[in-house]
Structure 1
Amino acid sequence: MTARGYPPSTDMFRRDAFHRRMAWIFGLQLLGMVAVALISYYELGPLWMVLMLIMLTTLLGWLMARRQWRQVRRLARAIKSWDESKNDLRPWQPGQLPRRTDADVAALAEGLYAFANRIAGYNQRERNFTRDASHELRSPLTVIKMSAEMLSDEPGIGEFGQRSLQRIKRASREMEALVEALLILARESDRGLTSEDFVVNDVLRDELADIRDLLEGRDITLELDEPVRFALHGSPRVFAVLCWQLIRNACQQMEQGVIAIAVMPGAITVTNRIDEAAAGQVNRHGFELAIAQRISERFAWPLELQTREGRQHVARIRFPQTVAVS
């Protein structure tokens, strides 16, 4: 036995056994047809005997072929009943296959068992990462935020110190949103995310309030246009993280100006206009858009990026399935 728990090779099984057995089946049928032809040609028996011989030969061939397919069907049932959330992979072990199993079927079972082991390992690492990262990253961020709040109340801190504290607070909020986005993307499935009907306008308004705090001290104005209202069924936190990524990226592309967020029927657009004079001083890091693109693909919310005349950048996120607002 190897470290993975299954036989090191498929040499213990009979190679080409399936082919040989199928050859026996077709050989039996051929003999039956020859016998039928001889009986009919030489009139050695009545018609009912010929028909019975044909039926018997066909039935025996079907039974033998069905028996050979039993191994493949057993493997198919194991695949159908496999639960990737459980680590019990004993039904997949090739060592449990009968000795008469064809080597090709055993090789397929061995490959599927190794694949199931890898998937189980991936799931375990996913759970460990999301659990550990959630605790190990959020805890120090909470300490940083609390310490910054306490320091901001100290009367002896000057103007330079207050600006530094504001930058610390802003960076800690950005890190919280980034950690949230990475943890969402790290999950293989949507387990752990709450799904509900939520109005996108309300969630977007709350998110803009936090973003305005991040923009304190910068000459950037956020404008929200809401000609329509609609709702979605899903995770409001995922939606908020996606909107934060798009607006944050728009803020990075400009030093001053207006960022317009519009709620359109089944879509949300984020538009900015970059001044030519400030364009060369802008940080154009695209990490946030990469995360937004991955969230878009993960939850089937198509993301469109456009650059119009006058250095106007537009990000549009579409929602194919919306819920009517009551």
Structure 2
Amino acid sequence: MPERGSAARPAQKRGLYRRRLRSRIILSFVLLGFCLTSLFAFATKWTRARVENQLVEDVMERNIDEYVRRFYADPSHNPPVPIDQIRGWVYSRDRLDRLYQEHPDWVDLKPGVYRIVSGVDEEGRPFAYRLAVRKTDEAWFFLAYDMTQAQRGEVQLNRTLLISVLVFSLLSLVLGWWSASKVMRPVSDLAARLRAYRGGTSEPKPLAPYFTDDEVGQLAGALDDYSNRLTEVVQRDREFNADVSHELRTPLAVIRGATELLLTRPNLDDKVLQRLQRIQRAEQQCSDLIGALLLLSRNERGQGSSNVAKVAEQLLEAHRAQLGGKPLELVLEGVSDLVIDAPESALSVALGNLIGNAVKYTQEGQVRVIVHEDAVEVADTGPGLSQEDAAKLFQRGYRGTHAGHSQGGGIGLSIVSRLCDLYGWRVGVRPGETRGVVATLYFSGEGVPALEPPREEPPAAS
């Protein structure tokens, strides 16, 4: 049985990934628009400042040169200021005290052009100006160019550039949203068509004809090719399962019929009777195992119900006949009326592997099978369980540290785990109270951990 919610979670994850891809496209557009407009705004501001500085400095240099020339042409009168928004001052050597009184911050300035922010004007508004300075032996010359209007224009330009960045970023967001929807629509359509096909007996319809010959169309074609190959594999697997089921069940039926016929003969020798009974039990185990493996290969539950105590007693009886001289006691305890909704073949394989491992690795003592209200417990007095075994016990092909040279491929507990997934059971292992291992098969998965962690203290050696 598939795990509850397994279909919903992948669908939610696919939707999340799709939203993330759409979000990444939108974010790319927004970042691109923001970066480009910000770069353009910075370049505009830098170019304006550079051009303004160059032009103003050139004008101030020409005007102060003209101012000095006109002063020397007629020293008795202050020369007129060449252009508007410029005021001029001339301080002769004998009048420098007035400079200290009127503009003390100009005294230490060397010849050149300076940008000065003096605070506020008479009306309380920010005031700034460019000051050109020339100093000769006879007089010092100053020209002040009012930059207040230019400064206000710069503030307005900065505000306009900021609004432009925000507007173009918003336009980039809208364009990115539209482009992402346009780009993701074929991908979403492809995902929807894939989700619409849930499998079954019919073959899936080709996806490529529904899409144009672009990247999504190529992906759809690749998925069609993969689907065809996967369908062939599934078909071969189904045919193989059917062939195995027929070809193995036929000789097993012959063995069962011959064994039953031989067991009806009177006066059988005890050794012959034991061997015939062993053949009968082996045939039943093979039939159960084949049935369980076929159900696992098809991922479908078998029909029927099973009495747990009855199946456990049959399994213990089969192992008692194979103990030989091994000093081991096999005990069945607990309730006898626990019935589960599963065929005896599946329960026999799952519980038989747990009992078989306990019998195999316990050299002396007891193997107790305890049937509870909704679980069955197999406890042994064997060598115990290591931390490494507990972590890898249900992995396919893993053989425990106590396996030694014993027979087995390490797939028994893996089959148990797969049967638990199919029927909604749970299996757990833990060290025993004083020694050995306790394996528990829960038939109700509610509130039961899938694997009980081993205890910290090391198990006692047998």
1:153 matched to 2:277? The reply is no
Q: Distance in 2 between matches of 1:57 and 1:307?
A: 64
- What stretches of structure 2 of length at least 5 have no aligned partner? 1-24, 38-169, 384-401, 448-462
Matched residues in 2 for 1:97 and 1:123: separation?
27
Q: SS at the partner of 2:206?
A: helix
Would you say how many aligned residue pairs link Structure 1 and Structure 2? Answer: 268
Pick aligned residue for 1:115 from 212, 215, 226: 226
Q: Is the 8 A contact 2:358 2:367 kept in 1?
A: yes
Relative to structure 1, the CA distance from residue 255 to residue 146 in structure 2 (aligned partners, 3 Å threshold; closer, same or farther) is farther
Shift of 1:80: 1.7
Confirm whether residue 210 of structure 1 aligns to residue 210 of structure 2. no
**Alignment partner of 1:140 is 2:251:** yes
Provide the residue aligned with 2:355 in structure 1.
Answer: 247
The Cα shift of 1:180 comes to 2.3
Residue 305 (structure 1) aligns with? 429
* Correspondence list, 1:96-245, <5 A: 96-99=210-213, 102-103=214-215, 105-155=216-266, 157-187=268-298, 189-190=299-300, 193-194=302-303, 203-215=307-319, 217-218=321-322, 221-226=329-334, 238-245=346-353
Question: SS state of the match for residue 90, structure 1?
Answer: coil
Say which of 190, 204, 209 aligns to 1:75: 190
Matched, 1:263 2:371: yes
Match of 1:321 in 2: 445
| Contact 1:232/1:322 (<8 A) preserved | no
Q: 1:305 and 1:120, CA in 2 relative to 1: closer, same or farther beyond 3 A?
A: same
For the pair shown, the structure with the greater C-alpha radius of gyration is 2
Once residues 280 and 218 of structure 1 are traced to their aligned partners in structure 2, the CA distance between those partners, rounded to angstroms, is 19
Residue deviations 1:11-57, cap 9 Å, x none?
A: xxxxxxxxxxx9xxx8xxx8xxx9xxxxxxxxxxxxxxxxxxxx999
What is aligned with 2:418? 294
8 Å Cα contact 1:266-1:318 kept in structure 2: yes
CA contact (8 A) 1:248 1:288 kept: no
Counterpart of 1:18 in structure 2 is: none
1:10-21 pair list within 5 angstroms: none
* Deviation, structure 1 residue 204: 0.9
Cα separation, 1, equivalents of 2:220 and 2:313: 56
Relative distance call for 1:77 and 1:312 in structure 2 (3 A) is: closer
Give the corresponding residue for 1:50. Answer: none
Aligned residue type for 2:272: G
Question: One-letter code of the match for 2:190?
Answer: L
In structure 1, list runs of 5 or more residues that go unmatched. Answer: 1-21, 35-54
Does structure 2 retain, via aligned residues, the 8 Å contact 1:252–1:284? no
Within a 5 Å distance, the mapping from 1:86-105 to structure 2 comes to 86-92=201-207, 94-99=208-213, 102-103=214-215, 105=216
Q: 1:130 to 1:322 in 2, by over 3 A?
A: farther
Query: What is the rounded CA distance, in whole Å, between the counterparts of 1:131 and 1:146 in structure 2?
Result: 22
Question: Given residue 166 of structure 1, which amino acid in structure 2 is its aligned partner?
Answer: Q
Report if the CA contact (8 A) 1:203-1:240 is conserved. no
**In structure 2, what is the Cα distance between the partners aligned to 1:152 and 1:83?**
51
Q: CA deviation at 1:155?
A: 4.1
> In 2, are the aligned partners of 1:207 and 1:240 still within 8 Å (CA)?
yes
> Which residue of the partner structure matches residue 130 of structure 2?
none
Change in Cα spacing, 1:152 to 1:320, as seen in structure 2 (3 Å) is closer
SS in 1 for 2:229: helix
Question: Which amino acid is 1:273 matched to?
Answer: T
Q: Tell me the secondary structure at the aligned position of residue 224 of structure 1.
A: strand
Instruction: Give deviations 1:226-276, integer Å, cap 9, x for gaps.
Output: 26977766666534431222123323334665321123465421012359x
Contact 2:426 2:442 (C-alpha < 8 Å) held by counterparts = yes
Distance 2:414 2:193 in 1: 38
- What TM-score comes out, normalization by structure 2 length? 0.46
Cα pair 2:307 2:337 within 8 Å, conserved: no
TM-superposed deviation, 1:72: 2.1
Distance in 2, matches of 1:311 and 1:282, equals 22
Cα distance in 2 between the residues matched to 1:281 and 1:288 = 16
Taking the aligned partners of 1:113 and 1:129, their CA distance within structure 2 comes to: 24
**CA shift at 1:171, angstroms?**
1.6
Output the CA distance in 1 between the equivalents of 2:262 and 2:340: 40
Task: Name the SS of the counterpart of 1:84 in structure 2.
Answer: coil
Amino acid at match of 2:429: L
**SS of equivalent residue, structure 1 residue 91:** coil
Q: Distance in 1 between the 2:345 and 2:242 partners?
A: 18
Q: Which has the higher contact order (CA 8 A, sep 6+)?
A: 1
2:380 corresponds to which letter in structure 1? N
